[in-house]
Amino acid sequence: MPRLALLLAAALLAVPATASAQEAVTLSAPVDGADLGAGVPTTIEADSGGLLDFIAIQVDGAPKCVLTLRPARCAWTPTQADIGDHTITALSLLRDGAVLSTATARVTVGRLIPPAVSAATVRKRYGRTGRRLTTTGRVELPAGLTASACGGRVTVTVRHGRRTIVDRSVPVGADCAFSSVATFRPPKRASSVRVAVAFAGAPLLAPRAATTQTVRLR
């Protein structure tokens, strides 16, 4: 069995030994109660002042890293499957696998809210009395996420007063952009309509709406 696997098994089974205050392991990142974003790389950082051989990092009891450097830094990128609450544990270990001390932090992994959803609508005539509205925009990605997080759908709704004239759902592309074309005959004496754009969310992104636009029809 590889040495790393042996150490991880020992960390899970060993009975804690006695540790002095200087040897006690500390977990400095993420802090207890932290909110983490699914898909965003996270560094788990732990340290100890004692002359220990190893620091082991676990998430919900599952081994992630066994490190000798101080401070110990372990990379973890939560996925969509990790959305929810988790316990991160750092263990200070001797070479024989004895656990001297532990430190824990409870964290919550969730979908990130896009910084903004931009949208702009251009009006053109369609036939003698119709109108064509082309709405284009983009879902902005939070820091730490790449274009692979793009996806989902956007709903474009055109209203006059309380009446819904158009309600369309279009996909968000691989570049986080979207485009919708709506043609309709305006209600009599309607001089303008309101265009609302709402992003329904994606596996790593929470829903968000764009600012409602007022588009003149004449």
87 with 60: CB under 8 angstroms?
A: yes
The rounded distance, in Å, linking the Cα atoms of 187 and 130 is: 10
Q: How far is CA 205 from CA 115, 143, 148, 180, in A?
A: 10, 12, 11, 21
Architecture of domain 117-216: Sandwich (2.60)
Q: What pLDDT, on the 0 to 100 scale, is given for residue 1? A: 44
Q: Whole-model pTM?
A: 0.74
Residue 207 neighbours by CB under 8 Å, 6+ apart: 198, 199, 200, 201
Per residue in 67-106, pLDDT (tens digit) is: 888 889 999 999 999 999 999 999 988 887 788 889 999 9
Give the contacts of 80 (CB within 8 A, at least 6 positions apart): 38, 39, 203, 204
Q: Does residue 206 surpass a pLDDT of 70? A: yes
**DSSP code of 49?**
S
Confidence tier at 52 by pLDDT (50, 70, 90): low
Q: Report whether pLDDT(31) > 90.
A: yes
Distance CA 119, CA 90 (A): 46
| Sign of the alpha-carbon torsion through 157, 122, 216, 128 | negative
Average pLDDT over residues 104-122: 96
Residue 55 Rama label (left phi>0; alpha psi -120 to 50; beta): beta
Domain ranges of the chain: 3-110, 117-216
Is pLDDT above 90 for 137? yes
Q: What is the pLDDT of residues 166-204, one digit of tens each?
A: 999 999 999 999 999 999 988 888 889 999 999 999 999
If you classify domain 3-110 with CATH, what class do you get?
A: mainly beta
Q: Which residues share a beta bridge with 63?
A: 58
Are the folds of 3-110 and 117-216 the same? Answer: yes
